[in-house]
Amino acid sequence: MIISSNRPSYIKWEVTLPQDDDFIAIWDPIIHDDFVIVPVDNQGILLALDKETGEEIWRWTEARDTYDGADGFAERSYIYDGVLVTTQNNLTYRIDVSTGETLWHDRNIDSGASFVYGLGENFVKMFNEYREFRSLRIGNVYTGKIEEVYRFEREDSFHISSNIPLLFEHDNRVFSTFNRIKDLSTTSGYIQDTWVNLYDVENQNLEWISDTIPKENQYDYTAGLRPIYHRGKILFCRTSIFAYDVDNGDLSWKDTSHTNTFAWNTHLTAADGKVFGNNENGYMIALDIDTGAEIWRTDTGGTGSRIEYFEDKVYINEITRGGMSYLMVLDANTGEVLHDVPSPYEIFGENNWYWDDVISVDQETGLIYTADHNKVMCIELDD
């Protein structure tokens, strides 16, 4: 084991996180130009660091200082043209990345998902009244104006919900996709049905609604929290992985060969015609985007962060095995393990060695940004 007084050579820099206790979590670091922005969970802090040195550039706490309970920002944020759009529930902020100055903020009367996906100057967010309606809204990065473009409401005794909407471009058109969910608990059991929806943003039209997502088992009802898009396919995961064709809404393929979830802490990543997922049963897979055929399967471990892709490699963190967690790098084409790095420091007590389940890889330099519930780190691994 490596003790805390001896920094491993692969750690380029490390910064102790602002924290109220010995165990603090962050969301995935956000990399932009010369900055890495670290969202400190449950404290309402965005910490902007120089990505080469770790020097603190600015610290944003405005929402926390203004509104009680505003402490979970940046579970998913969006940067465009030097500004950061971040959100928690009904609050949305636009922040200058260079200075940390708030440029505008919106406080909506409706509740909202704490996720922002964007494309160009637009971002998308789902608002709701619990079990009663879902409202898909498009915002403008520059003006802060957020407008409803589509709504679905409760029509019968079934409650309604949805997953996180995604904004993406396909064949020179801009779309948003989201799942529409209906559920009801009865004396005879729990009923839930889910449909994939595709909304044409430019023409303000619902392009299609899929058939209900197949129920391979009880965990496949919602098909996961976050959709992704790659090469004409919308992909979801839970225990199974589903791929829907953007052009017609048909289910292109499904992989039902797994008995545990892909969506507890990790989610799918797609690149170069492949779909990558780490299963809670302790393995990572790569599937062909067009057919769903398995390309490789490699033993890793349980849990895991979002999977990052960079130059034919995939990166994942907090892979747990035997009481230790690991940062892993695999060859994206073969599944060969290139790096298997144990957590470097013992934290909050004897024999507790953890990475945090977050990871971001700079797509220009290949540097890795992650944390261990105590420090945020910049990591440089040999090829």
Q: Assess if residue 143 is contained within a domain.
A: no
- CATH number of the domain that 273 lies in? 2.40.128.630
Q: Assess if residue 251 is contained within a domain.
A: no
Q: Assess if residue 118 is contained within a domain.
A: no
Q: What is the pLDDT of residue 189?
A: 85
Q: What is the pLDDT of residue 161?
A: 93
CB 64 within 8 A of CB 44: yes
Q: Which of 245, 243, 244, 283 is nearest to 262 (CA)?
A: 283
Q: Assess if residue 34 is contained within a domain.
A: no
Range of 280's domain? 264-383
Q: What is the pLDDT of residue 21?
A: 61
Q: What is the pLDDT of residue 3?
A: 37
| 120-129 as b/e: b if 16+ CB within 10 A | eebbbbbbbe
Q: Assess if residue 335 is contained within a domain.
A: yes
Count how many Cα atoms sit within 13 Å of the Cα of residue 122 in the half-sphere of its side chain.
Answer: 17
Strand order in the sheet with 35-40: 30-32, 35-40, 45-50, 56-60
3-state secondary structure 82-142: CEEEEEECCEEEEEECCCCCEEEEEECCCEECCECEEECCEEEEEEEECECEEEEEEEECC
Residues 6+ apart with CB under 8 A from 330: 284, 298, 300, 313, 314, 316, 336, 337, 338
CA 173 – CA 154 distance, rounded (Å): 30
Q: Assess if residue 377 is contained within a domain.
A: yes
Q: What is the pLDDT of residue 348?
A: 66
Query: Mean pLDDT, consecutive 10-residue segments, the chain of 383 residues?
Result: 65 88 84 95 93 97 94 91 96 96 96 95 95 95 95 94 95 96 89 94 96 82 83 94 96 93 84 96 96 97 93 96 92 98 81 87 97 94 87
78 residue type, one letter: Y
For residue 309, the cross-strand partners are 314
Q: What is the pLDDT of residue 350?
A: 65
Instruction: Using alpha carbons, list the distances in angstroms from residue 357 to 1, 123, 314, 318.
Output: 20, 26, 15, 5
Which letter does DSSP use for residue 180 in this model? E
Q: What is the pLDDT of residue 5?
A: 53
Q: Assess if residue 298 is contained within a domain.
A: yes
Q: Assess if residue 356 is contained within a domain.
A: yes
Rounded to the nearest 5 percent, the helix, strand and coil shares of the chain are 0, 55, 45
Q: What is the pLDDT of residue 20?
A: 62
Provide the domain count of the chain: 1
Q: What is the pLDDT of residue 176?
A: 98
What the block records as the tokens of 100 is 């940390």
Q: Which of 290, 330, 286 is nearest to 312 (CA)?
A: 330
